[in-house]
Amino acid sequence: MNDARTADTSAVALPEAAAAHPAGPVRRRGTLGPVALVVAGGLSVQFGSAVAVLLMPRAGALGVVTLRLLLAAAVLLVVCRPKLRGHSRADWGTVVAFGIAMAGMNILFYQAASRIPLGAAVTLEVLGPLALSVIASRRLVNVVWAGLALCGVVMLSGGGFDRLDPLGAVFALSAGVMWATYIVFSARTGRRFPQADGLALAMVVGAVVSLPLGVVEAGSKLLVPSTVGLGLAVALMSSVLPYTLELLALRRLPAPTFAVLMSLEPAIAAGAGFLVLHQALSLVDALAIALVIAASMGAVRSQMAKSAPQG
C-alpha cells in the first residue's frame, strides 16, 4: 500500500463511501476497461514502492517519503489548481487530518519496507482496512474473514515476527492503522472538496509534515539531481498516475468491484518485490498472502451482499 492511495480507496472498507458510488447492476460490457485501469494503477503503486526501496540507501526511508509527497504535491497543485477560498473551518480541519494521516501512513509503511519484504509489508498493512470493514459492517460473517486473515498473518510471521524483523512488522501494522484512518478522512474530504482538490491540498499538508523528518535524516542528499529524479519517478508511479487511473475507473466501475480489486495489492506487491528487489517468497509466505487476499475479498463481497437491494 499502502502507501497513500486516492480518496476513492475509501470503498475498500467504508460502506458510506461505497454509497457515494452505488454498485447497481454490473454490465459485463465496458467493465474490462475500468478493471484494466485499476490493475494498472495497482501495478504502478507497488512497482513505485519497489523503486522507493531502491532509493532508500541514498535518502533513507524518511527522505524518500519527503521526496514523494513534495513532488506529488507539486504535480497535483499544477494539475488540479485547487481553490483556497470558500471553504469552512470544518473543511480545512478535514483536509489537514487527511494530510496528517497520509504522511503517517507513508512514513510508517516506508519504515516497514526498509526492514521486511515488500509483499509482507503490504499484507500486514492491508489488515487496517480489513479491520475497518469488519467493524463498520457489524456482521458475524466478517469476523470469520478476519479470522482467516489472522491465520494468514500467523503463517507469514512463521509463528513469531522475529523472522520478519519485529520492528518492521510493527511499522507495517501501524501503517495499516493509519491507512484505516486515511480511508475515513479521505471519504470526508471527497465529500467536502470538488474533484481532486482536497487530495492535492492534503498532499501539501503531508509534505509539510514529512519535510522536517526528511531533512533531518537525509539533509542535502535530497537535492542530488539523480535522487530527485528517482523521487519524481516514485511520486508519479505511486501517487499521480494511480490516482488518475483509479479516478477514471471509478466513473464506470462499481465501488465494491473496485474494492475487491484493491484486495489484490499484496500479491502485486509480492510480484514487484520479486522482480525489482529480488525478494523471493517461500511457499508458506505465498499461501499466507493468498489467505489475506481471500479474506479481504470475502469481507468486501459480504458487504456487497448486505447492501444489495432486496428483491
Q: What pLDDT is recorded for position 309?
A: 52
* Number of structural domains in the chain: 1
Flag whether 42 is in a domain.
Answer: yes
Flag whether 268 is in a domain.
Answer: yes
List the chain residues with pLDDT less than 50: 3-29, 311
Q: How far apart are CA 86 and CA 66, in angstroms?
A: 29
Flag whether 19 is in a domain.
Answer: no
Flag whether 45 is in a domain.
Answer: yes
Burial 28-47 (b: 16+ CB within 10 A, else e): eeeeeebbebbeebbbbbbb
Flag whether 17 is in a domain.
Answer: no
Q: How far apart are CA 88 and CA 93, in angstroms?
A: 9
Flag whether 2 is in a domain.
Answer: no
pLDDT in tens, 163-199: 778 899 899 999 999 988 887 888 888 888 888 888 8
Flag whether 5 is in a domain.
Answer: no
DSSP string, 97-158: HHHHHHHHHHHHHHHHHTTS-HHHHHHHHHHHHHHHHHHHH--HHHHHHHHHHHHHHHHHHT
Q: What pLDDT is recorded for position 259?
A: 64
Displacement of CA 52 from its chain's centroid (Å): 14
Question: Which H/E stretch holds residue 267?
Answer: helix 265-277
Q: Which of 118, 111, 128 is nearest to 46 (CA)?
A: 118
Q: What pLDDT is recorded for position 260?
A: 66
Flag whether 25 is in a domain.
Answer: no
Residue 240 C-alpha cell reads as 499521480
For residue 72, the enclosing domain spans 30-307
Is the torsion defined by CA of 175, 177, 182, 187 positive or negative?
A: positive
